[in-house]
Amino acid sequence: MRPEIIFQNIRDLMVFGSAMTTSELSGVTTCTTDNIYTLEDGMLVEIQNKVFPVSNITRTGVAEWTFEITATGITAISWELALYYLPGRALEINNVQKDKKEDPSNKNKRFPLMWLLTGMEKNENFEEPVAYESNVIIAFVYISEDNLRTQKRIDDKYEPILDPLVELFKNTIKKSPGSRYFSLPYGETLDITTTDKFKYGSIDGNKNIFVDIADAIELNMNLKFFETITCN
C-alpha cells in the first residue's frame, strides 16, 4: 500500500465526531453531544461545512457534554473534528488550496491541513515482510498572519490547534495502525522529530509558497513499510 493511502487511513482514524443537538442564544450556539473524545477548548470542529473553534466544554451528565461555538442558524445534527489531508509537492498543494479558496463550497475546508510531502526516496534493500524504507515528512498546517509575535502564534495557533493535532497523530499510531503499516521493534513506537515552522513555506523573507500565510509543525520520520497490511 502506498504511503499516500496509508496516511489517508491514519487521518481518517484521527477524525472523531458525534451526534448533537443545539440551542442558540445571543450569537452563541451550545452543542449537546454524547461524546467529545479528545476534544479540547480551542480545537476546531466542522459543522455544516464550516469550521469553528470550540469553547466551554462541560460535562453535563454520565454520557453528555456541551460545547459552544460562535455561530447562528446551525441546523446540523452532528459534528466532527476538522482536519483535511493532502499528499503532494508544495506547488501542487498550493494550487489545490487556491482552487478550494475560490470555491464557495470548499473555501472553509482548507485548514487545519495534514500534508504528506511526496516524492520520497525509497531504499528497497530489505527482506520480506518489509518492502522498503523511506524518510517521511508530514506537516500539520494552520492559517496564520504575517506579523504575529512569537508568543501570539504559540497562544493562538500552536497550543489550541496544532499541538493537539500532533499529539493525536502520535497517539493514533501508537494504538495500532503503526504496527499494521510499519515495521517497529517490539514494544516501541515511531521515532518522530518535530519542528515548529512559523510562516511555513516562506522563502527569502516574506515570500511564501502557500497562497495563505500559515504556521505549521513538521514531523520527520524514518519508516520501514510492510509490503502488505499486517493483522494485529
Q: Is the dihedral of CA 109, 81, 12, 198 positive or negative?
A: positive
Q: What is the pLDDT of residue 134?
A: 75
Task: Give dist(CA 37, CA 78) in Å, integer.
Answer: 14
Q: What is the pLDDT of residue 128?
A: 63
Q: What is the pLDDT of residue 152?
A: 95
Q: What is the pLDDT of residue 7?
A: 84
Amino acid residing at 108: N
pTM, two decimals, is 0.86
Q: SS in 3 state form for the chain?
A: CCHHHHHHHHHHHHCCEEEEEEEEECCEEEEEECCCCCCCCCCEEEECCEEEECEEEEEEECCEEEEEEECCCCCCCEEEECCEEEEECHHHHHHHHHHHHCCCCCCCCCCCEEEEECCCCEECCCCCCEEEEEEEEEEEEEECCCCCCHHHHHHHHHHHHHHHHHHHHHHHHHHCHHHHHECCCCCCCCCEEEEEECCCCEECCCEECCCCCEEEEEEEEEEEEECCCCCC
**Residue ranges of the chain with pLDDT lower than 70?**
1, 119-132, 176-180, 183-189, 201-209, 227-232
* Interval 208-229: pLDDT, tens: 567 788 999 999 987 777 766 5
Q: What is the pLDDT of residue 204?
A: 45
* Interval 20-51: pLDDT, tens: 999 999 999 999 999 999 899 999 999 998 99
Q: What is the pLDDT of residue 154?
A: 95
Task: Identify the CATH class of 3-12+83-226.
Answer: alpha beta
Q: What is the pLDDT of residue 43?
A: 94
Q: What is the pLDDT of residue 188?
A: 59
Q: What is the pLDDT of residue 176?
A: 60
